[in-house]
Chain A
Amino acid sequence: MPHVPDALAPLACPAAPCSDTPCARPAEAFVPSPALPPPPSAVGPLGWLRANLFDGWFNSLLTLLCMAFLAAVVPPLVSWALLDACFTGDASMCAQSSGACWTFIVHKFRVLMVGTYPPAEAWRPALAGVLLATMVGCTAWRRLRAAALAVLWLLLPLAALWLVGGGAGLAPVDQSQWGGLMLSVGLALVGILVSIPCGVLLALGRRSRIAAVRALCVGIIEPVRGVPLITILFMASVMFPLFLPPDMQINNLLRVQIGMILFSSAYMAEVVRGGLAAVPKGQTDAAKALGLGYWKMQAFVVLPQALRHVLPSLVGRCIALLKDTSLVIIVGLLDFLGMAKAASQDQQWLGHDAEAYIFCALVYWLLCFGMSRWGRSIERRTAHRAR
Chain B
Amino acid sequence: MPTAASDTAQAAASAQAAASAQTTSSAQTTSSGQTTPSAQAGDIVIDICGVNKWYGAFHVLKDVNLQVCRAERIVICGPSGSGKSTLIRCINRLERHQSGRIVVDGVELTSSLKGIEKVRREVGMVFQDFNLFPHMTVLQNLTLAPVWVRKMPRRQAEETALHFLERVRIREQADKYPGQLSGGQQQRVAIARALCMNPAILLFDEPTSALDPEMIKEVLDVMIELAEENITMVCVTHEMGFARTVADRVIFMDGGEIVEQNTPEAFFSNPRFDRTRQFLGQILKH
A interface list, Cβ under 8 A from B? 280, 282-283, 285-293, 296, 300-301, 304-305, 308, 382, 384-387
Contact = CB atoms under 8 A, between A and B. Distances in A.
B22 interface: no
A286 B113 CA distance: 17
B131 A286 contact: yes
Contacts of B148: 292, 296, 300
Contact of A304 (B92, B124, B135): B135
B267 to A, nearest CB: 28
B121 A387 contact: no
A142 to B, nearest CB: 16
Contacts of A292: 144-145, 148-149
A285 B127 contact: yes
B117 interface: yes
B195 to A, nearest CB: 11
Main secondary structure of the interface of B (DSSP, over half): mixed
B105 interface: no
Please name the 7 residue pairs, one residue from A and one from B, whose CB atoms are nearest each other, closest first. Answer: A286-B131, A290-B145, A289-B125, A282-B131, A291-B120, A291-B121, A387-B134
Contacts of B131: 280, 282-283, 285-286
Contacts of B121: 291
A301 B178 CA distance: 14
A285 B190 CA distance: 13
Given A288-B94, A289-B94, A386-B179, A305 B197 contact: no
A296 B193 CA distance: 17
Interface residues of B, number: 30
Interface in B109-139: 113, 117, 120-121, 123-125, 127, 129, 131-136
A283 B124 CA distance: 15
Interface string B193-210: 110010000010000000
A382 B145 CA distance: 22
Given A282-B129, A285-B94, A384-B179, A290 B135 contact: no
B270 interface: no
Given A384-B177, A385-B177, A386-B179, A290 B149 contact: yes
29 contacts: A282-B127, A282-B131, A285-B89, A285-B125, A285-B131, A286-B125, A286-B127, A286-B133, A287-B133, A288-B120, A289-B94, A289-B120, A289-B123, A289-B125, A289-B203, A290-B149, A290-B193, A290-B194, A290-B197, A292-B144, A292-B148, A296-B148, A296-B149, A382-B135, A384-B179, A385-B135, A386-B134, A386-B135, A386-B179
A288 B89 CA distance: 11
Given A283-B133, A290-B144, 17 more contacts: A285-B127, A286-B127, A286-B132, A288-B120, A289-B123, A289-B125, A289-B203, A290-B145, A290-B193, A290-B194, A291-B117, A292-B144, A292-B149, A296-B148, A300-B148, A305-B133, A384-B179
